[in-house]
Amino acid sequence: MGESKSSFHPALAVSNIKNSIPITLEMENVQYSTWAELFKVHARSNKVLHHIMPPAKGKEQPPPSTDAEKEMWATLDATVLSWIYSTISRDLLNTIIEPDSTAMEAWDRLRDIFQDNEHSRAVALEQEFSTTSMEDFSNVSAYCQRLKSLADQLKNVGAPVSDSRMVLQLVGGLTRPYRGVGTLIRQSNPLPPFYKARSMLTLEEAGMAKEAATESAMVASSDENPNRGDKPSQNNGTKNSGRRHYTNGRKNSGAAGGKKFTGNKGGGRDQQSGSHGGQVGYFQW
């Protein structure tokens, strides 16, 4: 039996293929195996996997016979083809696009591109995998992601990398701050899985970042309060006190109301102001 006679099909309800396949397949940053796996999962969930891969023996479907079935098949195939074109780079699109191509033909062209010259590609990928180190990446996640991507590509060209070798390469390329946890991973028997080793390094990275933030906050607090805890200068206090005392004496000189001026008596003007007798006087209340 061909495609369902119903006008509704789950594949036709997909509005944005990027939600299901968030990566773009490129020649420069090869992620074919990851892209292909995501694409197959999406196609299988929407019942159109047979448009890119021949069904297994015993599960073949008869070709569409009626006009309605043929029209539905063509519509679904064009939908899958548009998914392929929407998730690859412009260079790849220009390479594989052909007039009146089916989704399976486009799928096979992409597979041939990335699986061509497998031995040569395996040698190049193997060398890159063996020389990858963390110093070339900004954080643990980027480093681990690159190792995983290279391992996937090696698997795609018939040279799979074992999980234990991935862990050993991961540890061998660590920078100095991570060598402690790297030694812990290396001495584990058996070696932890790659995902667990990655988790251990990620936790170590988070701990170091938190410690660095705490130290920065303490330094900033110290810089903002350089004289914190110092006692006020006694000289300044004495000078200011004397100035206030003198000012009060001038302000209240000659005032009535029982105030008595004592000190050097140098004449009437001296008694009034206390400023011409050669000494500074003071009031006694």
- pLDDT tens, residue by residue, 98-126: 999 999 999 999 988 887 777 888 898 99
Where does the pLDDT of residue 254 fall: very low under 50, low under 70, confident under 90, or very high at 90 and above?
very low
- The overall longest dimension of the chain from CA atoms, in Å, is 135
My answer on whether omega of the bond before 54 falls inside 30° of 0, hence cis, is no
Which sequence spans correspond to the domains of the chain? 10-115, 118-218
Integer Cα distance of 208 and 215 in angstroms: 11
Q: What is the pLDDT of residue 146?
A: 94
In this structure, how many other beta carbons lie within 10 angstroms of the beta carbon of residue 174?
Answer: 22
Integer Cα distance of 272 and 250 in angstroms: 10
Where does the pLDDT of residue 278 fall: very low under 50, low under 70, confident under 90, or very high at 90 and above?
very low
How buried is 97 (Cβ within 10 angstroms: 0-12 exposed, 13-18 middle, 19+ buried)? middle
Map tokens 């938190």 to a residue.
210
In this structure, how many other beta carbons lie within 10 angstroms of the beta carbon of residue 217?
Answer: 10
Q: What is the pLDDT of residue 225?
A: 65
Global pTM value: 0.53
147: Cβ contacts below 8 Å, ≥ 6 apart: 129, 132, 166, 169, 170
With contact defined as beta carbons under 8 Å apart, do 34 and 96 qualify? no
- Return the minimum-mean-pLDDT range out of 55-64, 128-137, 139-148, 240-249: 240-249
With contact defined as beta carbons under 8 Å apart, do 73 and 81 qualify? no
With contact defined as beta carbons under 8 Å apart, do 157 and 115 qualify? yes
Map tokens 């400023």 to a residue.
275
How buried is 93 (Cβ within 10 angstroms: 0-12 exposed, 13-18 middle, 19+ buried)? middle
Q: What is the pLDDT of residue 224?
A: 67
Q: pLDDT digits over 22-74, tens only?
A: 999 998 766 788 899 999 999 999 989 999 998 877 777 778 888 888 999 99
Integer Cα distance of 197 and 213 in angstroms: 25
With contact defined as beta carbons under 8 Å apart, do 201 and 144 qualify? yes
